[in-house]
Structure 1
Amino acid sequence: MRLVIERGELLRALGHVTSVVERRTTIPILSNVLIRASGQTLELKATDLEREVTEEVKAEVGAAGAVTVPAHILHDIVRKLPEGSQVDIRRDAEKERLTLAAGQARFALQTLGPEDFPDLAAGELGHSFAVLAKDLKRLIDKTRFAISTEETRYYLNGIFLHIADAGNGPTLRAVATDGHRLAQAELTRPAGAEGMPGVIIPRKTVHELQRLIEDSAETVSVAVSPAKVRFEIGSVTLTSKLIDGTFPDYGRVIPQNNDKELRVENAAFISAVDRVSTIASERGRAVKLNLAKDKLVLSVNNPEGGSATEELAVTYSASPLEIGFNAKYLLDIAGQLEGDEARFLLADPGSPTMIRDAEDEAALYVLMPMRV
């Protein structure tokens, strides 16, 4: 195998694929990246057996071939090469070495054969559809903060992506919950998504996908089966296993009859919660909302650290109410709202509260109260 590639192109592709490679693994080949050259294309592939990322880049291929080399070492080498340099890559089959040359720098890396490299992408995925990267990013950004990190309830360790029948027609809906808060976002069902199975996309895959589409203006091709999901973003393909479990019936925790409505300017609310929660204990993080007509008083009382209160002018006409929430959870949800105004739909101190964005009807949040 022999090829020449521009350093920046190689570095960008390695940055995409090596992010799934674990720093420590008991299976040596999983520390490696598969390099395959053919035609005028270099394909890079890496996996941790749960996720697989591949990318194709243009290269001047002198001789086709494939090999695997340590992923993070290769990435570090290419990162430290001079900008704009041409990287000459050759495989010495006799010495089982891959040599890299750029300018006066020379490197030789140990290799493992490509025949044992796992292939996660094999097999047909029955349902496929296309969605704009910005729309997919919105679904992720609006929900991923609520993914549970509690390993015992593994079926909550991801985003539940499924087809739902909303009041204005079928949607592609993303839901995440950790039992304390729930986040839901949706968009009009893309063509081809009808009939797709509901799938739970693991937290690490969600993080990887969010990174890959961060600044993308591309259309993302999505393919789904009951066991796997695949995202194609330009020249990058991310394939992942799904969480094998049943997501709970989240509809049961979304309140339907909360009749007390609070409207508050969101930026002022965020600042006030942030200020008073400075006093809160790290363990409790509880903040109390005391509601009366057109007035909200936020308060924190920490026997070890002191107390704090702040009053906000709001729109509220229902009966007075005192309710407590985890300050961090409140700030997480308020930080997702895009409009100037937040809408809280409340019932009583012990029931879940629904939070809506006044400017985005396609997203909703549910927050369980705390005893304060």
Structure 2
Amino acid sequence: MKIICKQQQLNEAVLNIQRAVSAKSSVPALEGILLSAEESEITLCGYDLELGMKTKIEAKVEEKGRIVLSARLFGDIVRRLPADDVHLSVDDKNITKIQSGPADFSIAGIPAEEYPELPSITGETSIKIANCTLKSMIRQTIFAVAESDAKPIHTGTLFELDKNKIRLVSVDGYRLALREETAKCEEELNFVVPGKTLQEVMKLLSDDDEELEILIGRRHILFQIGSYCVISRLLEGEFLDYRAAIPNTSAMEILVSTRSFIESVERVSLIITDRLKSPVRCLFEDNEIKVSCSTSIGRASDQLPAKMEGEPVEMGFNNRYLLDALRNTEGDEMKIQLNGALSPMKILPREGNSYLFLVLPVRLKSEA
């Protein structure tokens, strides 16, 4: 194998592909990036047996071939190469020579035959959606994905497809995030994509209207994002019946400035630390939200105006869960619906129902 390519293109590709590589594996090849040189391009591939990523970059290929190189070492080398051009060659003992300007490295490679094949998608369904739309949908739901493996299915986001509609739902036992958009899909389908996969997909998505294609198989999903192909296993199991968790009625409806509410909760959260946890109290009455908190460091309180209809209510919230939901809203104002001190807070856009967040309250102790 013998190639010449551009350092900037190679570096960008390696940085992205590295994220799909196993940090530690009993199979040494999985800690590496597979490089395949053919015709006028090289393919780079990373795979950790759950998530795989591939991309192609232009190269002058003088000799075809394949080699696996340590992702960490190869990435460090490429990032620091001094010249625009990178010359890479592999001998019959898998010793890989990397040259750029005066810099010269020789590193040991692993035979490509030891690298496992990426899964192929079978019986696929295809959907198309704009980059910016999917990016926004993931951003507004990923924060509610479960971090613990108590229920592995909830470490992913539920995708629901029905006629020209796509819905993403994440739950973690303390909150729920739902986002809905129109999309080109021919059939009804439900599947759960791991949160880790969606984090990587979000990093690759641009903010433009260009469409990407998603292929859904029986056990795997493939995202074709520009020159990148991301393939992941799907999660199996019974996802929460989220519709049953969403309150249908509300005793109080509030219209409030998004920015003001976020800033108010952030201010009183200053006396909360990882060691000193305490709920943020929110009293909703007389067109005002009174926010307060008390820990052994001290006390903090704040208030902000809001338009309200309904019976006054006082609720407590985990400050991080509340802020995550508030920060992921869109628009200058949000609508909040409450149904008593122990029922979840429902957060919606001022108009329409493109997103819906639920945050479970925490039980408040009566203050002395």
Structure-2-length-normalised TM-score: 0.94
Aligned to 1:132: 130
Aligned to 1:118: 116
* Other structure's SS at 2:271 match: coil
CA deviation map 1:30-80 (0-9, x unaligned): 011111111111111110011110101111111111111112211111100
- Are the equivalent residues in 1 in contact too, given 2:135–2:207 (CA < 8 A)? no
- Are the equivalent residues in 1 in contact too, given 2:128–2:184 (CA < 8 A)? yes
Aligned to 1:186: 180
Q: How many residues align?
A: 363
Deviation at 1:305, TM superposition (A): 2.3
* Other structure's SS at 1:211 match: helix
Q: 1:65 to 1:229 in 2, by over 3 A?
A: same
Partners of 2:290 and 2:110 in 1: CA distance: 64
Partners of 1:243 and 1:317 in 2: CA distance: 42
Aligned to 2:86: 87
Question: Is the deviation greater in 210-219 or in 272-281?
Answer: 210-219
Aligned to 2:257: 265
- Are the equivalent residues in 2 in contact too, given 1:218–1:234 (CA < 8 A)? no
* Other structure's SS at 2:86 match: strand
Partners of 2:209 and 2:16 in 1: CA distance: 17
CA deviation map 1:308-361 (0-9, x unaligned): 221222111312211111111111111112211121100101111211121562
Query: Letter of the aligned partner of 1:333 in structure 2?
Result: A
Aligned to 1:149: 147
- Are the equivalent residues in 1 in contact too, given 2:251–2:311 (CA < 8 A)? no
Query: Letter of the aligned partner of 2:282 in structure 1?
Result: L
Query: Letter of the aligned partner of 1:255 in structure 2?
Result: P
Query: Unmatched 5+ residue regions in structure 2?
Result: none
CA deviation map 1:154-204 (0-9, x unaligned): 11101111125xxxx752010101111100001113234x233x1111121
- Are the equivalent residues in 2 in contact too, given 1:229–1:242 (CA < 8 A)? yes
Partners of 2:42 and 2:325 in 1: CA distance: 43
Partners of 2:208 and 2:55 in 1: CA distance: 15
CA deviation map 1:206-225 (0-9, x unaligned): 11111111556542110012
Question: Is the deviation greater in 275-284 or in 183-192?
Answer: 275-284
Deviation at 1:12, TM superposition (A): 1.2
Aligned to 2:346: 354
* Aligned pairs for 1:1-372 within 5 A: 1-83=1-83, 85-93=84-92, 95-164=93-162, 170-192=164-186, 194-196=187-189, 198-214=190-206, 218-280=210-272, 282=274, 284-302=277-295, 304-358=296-350, 361-372=353-364
Structure-1-length-normalised TM-score: 0.93
C-alpha RMSD of matched pairs (Å)? 1.7
- Are the equivalent residues in 2 in contact too, given 1:261–1:344 (CA < 8 A)? yes
Partners of 1:119 and 1:332 in 2: CA distance: 38
Query: Letter of the aligned partner of 1:293 in structure 2?
Result: D
Query: Letter of the aligned partner of 1:113 in structure 2?
Result: P
- Displaced runs of 4+ in structure 1, greater than 4 A? 214-217
- Are the equivalent residues in 2 in contact too, given 1:32–1:70 (CA < 8 A)? yes
* Other structure's SS at 1:14 match: helix
Query: Unmatched 5+ residue regions in structure 1?
Result: none
CA deviation map 1:203-257 (0-9, x unaligned): 2111111111155654211001231010011111000011122211111111111
Partners of 1:82 and 1:360 in 2: CA distance: 53
- Are the equivalent residues in 2 in contact too, given 1:258–1:353 (CA < 8 A)? no
